[in-house]
Amino acid sequence: QQVIGNLVANSVAYGDLKQPIIITSSCEEHQTIVSVRNQGAIIPESLMATLFEPMIRGTNDRNARSVGLGLFIVREIARSHGGNVTVCSNTEEGTTFEVFFPQIQS
């Protein structure tokens, strides 16, 4: 719930609110993937390497109302469950965050 909430909040804060926010999930052979995609301004390449670090925001706008912990929390939740998070941001497809969780094998 926290992962999806943080990713959707980022989509609202940084995406184009006239475009839909698309949330999907899928199960593959050994993992579950949750993704959140939005349209709008892309994440600058200069921020990509540090985007999941604490106190980093997805914009250089000093007026943004964020302290920069949302994506850090998403990454730490994913890691605590043995998973990871990735981001892809381009003008053609928008910005997509994918969170990967390994499936527990019984």
pLDDT tens-digit series, residues 83-99? 999 999 999 999 999 99
Largest Cα–Cα separation, the chain: 49
Beta strand extents in the chain (DSSP E only) = 22-27, 31-38, 84-90, 94-102
Helix boundaries (H) for 1-106: 2-14, 45-48, 70-80
**What residue type is assigned to position 68 of the chain?**
G
Q: What is the pTM of this model?
A: 0.88
pLDDT at residue number 40: 93
Among 73, 72, 42, smallest CA distance to 59 is for 42
State the fold for domain 2-102. Heat Shock Protein 90 (3.30.565)
List the chain residues with pLDDT less than 70: 56-67, 106
Please give the Cα distance from 96 to 106 (Å, whole number): 31
Residue listed under structure tokens 């719930």: 1
